[in-house]
Amino acid sequence: MKILLINPEFPDTYWSFRHALPFEGKRCAFPPLGLLTVSALLPPDWERRLIDLNVESLKTADIEWADMVFATAMLVQKDSLKQVVRLCKSRGKRVVLGGPYVTTTIEDLPDADHIFVGEAETTLPQFIEDLASGVAKRRYQAVERPPLAETPVADFHLANLKRYSAMSVQYSRGCPFSCEFCDIIEIYGRVPRTKSIQQMLAEFDALRDLNWRGTVFIVDDNFIGNKKNVRLLLPALAEWQKRNGYPFSFLTESSVNLADDEPLLEDMREAGFRRVFLGIETPVEESLKEAQKSQNRGNLLESVKKIQSYGMEVMAGFIVGFDNDPEDIFERQINFIRESAIPLAMVGLLNALPDTQLWRRLEREGRLLGEASGNNTSCTLNFKTRMDPAVLIKGYQSIMQTIYSPREYYQRALDSMKRTAQEFVEPQRYTVVSAVTAFARVMLKLGIFDGERKEFWRFFTQALVNHHDKLAETLRLAAMGYHFRKLNDAYSQQVS
């Protein structure tokens, strides 16, 4: 059996980093971990190929080669997924779909032969058995959420590692909190399940053996959801890093209450965590209560500063459009982002995702306008907001135009570098040639040809003087600022 695994294309979003990746000669931020894991669940004698439309095109020869096509998608990839299915079906191929979009959408799904709802560790083996017996069903859905002990090491070797900026692994699924707008707890549940320490070290061994060096994104929606198990994992991970010469630096996502646990922060620092994404959402206490974001308690600015003091750059998500947002929410968001020294602030408009608590409440209130696009930065709303929509969108744009203006952004980057200054053993990610090439690209694009080059040189000079040992970080932050600015300009033009 020949299996073609297809990852649909992501549109240009804040998470795509599309304008930043060319500086380091990469095409995509992360490989499709879900498909690589599905591949590892297939029989070992089946042939498989991966086509990630974010790094390469889908050729007719690839489709013709396959006996069956497996595809997945997040909500934001749905348009590309539909195109993929149409093309493969037109070639007479059996198509199998799964993933978050398939699991949660309220729309009619593409005309696939087999649909997998939820996690596939138990249902995919059943499908393979049914297929061999000639009784494969159209729809498969697990009776219960599987233990992650059943999750194999992903087939990382299928991905062309040179085309990605970072690798991805998953430690846990689920989150103990109940944020109203979140679909994670609907898909994966509120009891976090984790892999064993041995499973995680095996995945890191696999990436090391493939000669990956650099950033590894632990993609858990809340890495510290199961603190008891995380406390056991981190010392083992720190020892593995030391034994292997610190090949990786880690990025992950966490709830803000990470700041309350200094021993855990220390363990993360020792294990090589250098960046963490937080769901801060808003500095307005009434809106946090509305969102059932009880974990975001106390002084959020101090929480961010605490995490930064352990050498971890804080990235964060922010939302406007809550029912309880006051008229000055836009200024308050700008001030918080500025004072928190968060360079990569992902600000979006509140969207109601299917089958979330928010979706169900708005449905009862008769306020839904349809399914969201999955891109909460595109100035579209899928429900009737309390605030005048025109005022909300204009205010949202004012946030983006302010925080990603070069001077504002570069100052936050400098402040962040100052707060996170630590002595670390950094992975040797680049060859001399690739490092020099990346440096030259940044200097040419931002230092010579960019209209905002004056602000770049101001930033670069100050970073060089105060953080001369952090050249790679300086260049990364400069490239990311360029991405956000270009994307924000494009969105502004679309709306106007």
Consecutive H or E run containing 280:
strand 273-281
Q: Is residue 461 part of a domain?
A: yes
Average pLDDT over residues 302-310: 98
Q: What pLDDT score does 495 carry? A: 59
Q: What is the pLDDT of residues 247-276, one digit of tens each?
A: 999 999 999 999 999 999 999 999 999 999
3-state secondary structure of 355: coil
When mean pLDDT is compared across 75-79, 103-107, 303-307, the lowest value belongs to: 103-107
Q: What is the pLDDT of residues 173-195, one digit of tens each?
A: 999 999 999 999 999 999 999 99
Average pLDDT across the chain, whole number: 95
Average pLDDT over residues 280-284: 98
Q: Is residue 151 part of a domain?
A: no
Q: CB of 20 within 8 A of CB of 483? A: yes
The total number of structural domains that make up the chain: 3
92/183 same-domain check: no
192/321 same-domain check: yes
220/332 same-domain check: yes
Q: CB of 55 within 8 A of CB of 10? A: no
Identify the band that residue 320 occupies on the pLDDT scale cut at 50, 70 and 90.
very high
Q: Is residue 411 part of a domain?
A: yes
Q: Is residue 393 part of a domain?
A: yes
194/315 same-domain check: yes
304/452 same-domain check: no
Report the chain's C-alpha Rg in angstroms. 22
Q: What is the pLDDT of residues 93-107, one digit of tens each?
A: 999 999 999 999 888
Q: Is residue 182 part of a domain?
A: yes
Q: With 80 as the cut, is the pLDDT of residue 39 above it?
A: yes
Average pLDDT over residues 56-65: 97
Q: Per-residue DSSP letters for 99-120?
A: SHHHHH--SPPP--SEEEES--
- Helices 262-271 and 227-243 meet at what angle, rounded to 10? 30
Q: With 90 as the cut, is the pLDDT of residue 53 above it?
A: yes
Q: What pLDDT score does 243 carry? A: 97
How big is the CA angle at 246 (ends 245 and 247), to the nearest 5 degrees?
100
182/285 same-domain check: yes
Residue 196: give the domain boundaries: 166-419
- Distance CA(403)–CA(400), nearest Å, equals 5
Q: What is the pLDDT of residues 195-247, one digit of tens each?
A: 999 999 999 999 999 999 999 999 999 999 999 999 999 999 999 999 999 99
Alpha-carbon dihedral 281, 284, 288, 289, rounded to 10 degrees: -170
446/358 same-domain check: no
369/442 same-domain check: no
94/208 same-domain check: no
pTM of the predicted model as reported, rounded to 2 decimal places: 0.95
Q: What pLDDT score does 496 carry? A: 55
Question: Which CATH number belongs to the domain containing residue 312 in this structure?
Answer: 3.20.20.70
Q: Is residue 402 part of a domain?
A: yes
Q: What pLDDT score does 491 carry? A: 65
Q: Give residue 225's identity as a one-letter amino acid code.
A: G
Q: With 80 as the cut, is the pLDDT of residue 137 above it?
A: yes
Consecutive H or E run containing 329:
helix 329-340
Q: With 70 as the cut, is the pLDDT of residue 483 above it?
A: yes
Q: Per-residue DSSP letters for 110-174?
A: P--SEEEES--TTHHHHHHHHHHHT---SEEE-SSPPPGGGPPPP-GGGS-GGGBS-EEE--EE-
Q: What pLDDT score does 423 carry? A: 82
Q: Is residue 356 part of a domain?
A: yes
Q: What is the pLDDT of residues 6-15, one digit of tens each?
A: 999 999 887 8
Residue 316's DSSP bridge partners are 278, 345
Domain endpoint, select from 419, 443, 476: 419
Q: With 90 as the cut, is the pLDDT of residue 376 above it?
A: no
70/178 same-domain check: no
Q: What pLDDT score does 14 carry? A: 79
404/438 same-domain check: no
- Distance CA(267)–CA(237), nearest Å, equals 9
212/250 same-domain check: yes
Given the structure tokens 């998953």, which residue do they identify?
Answer: 170
Q: Is residue 405 part of a domain?
A: yes
- Distance CA(284)–CA(293), nearest Å, equals 11
Please choose, from the candidates 330, 308, 334, 316, the residue with its C-alpha nearest in 3D space to the C-alpha of residue 280. 316
Question: Which CATH number belongs to the domain containing residue 116 in this structure?
Answer: 3.40.50
Domain endpoint, select from 397, 419, 441: 419
Q: With 60 as the cut, is the pLDDT of residue 339 above it?
A: yes
Q: CB of 152 within 8 A of CB of 290? A: no
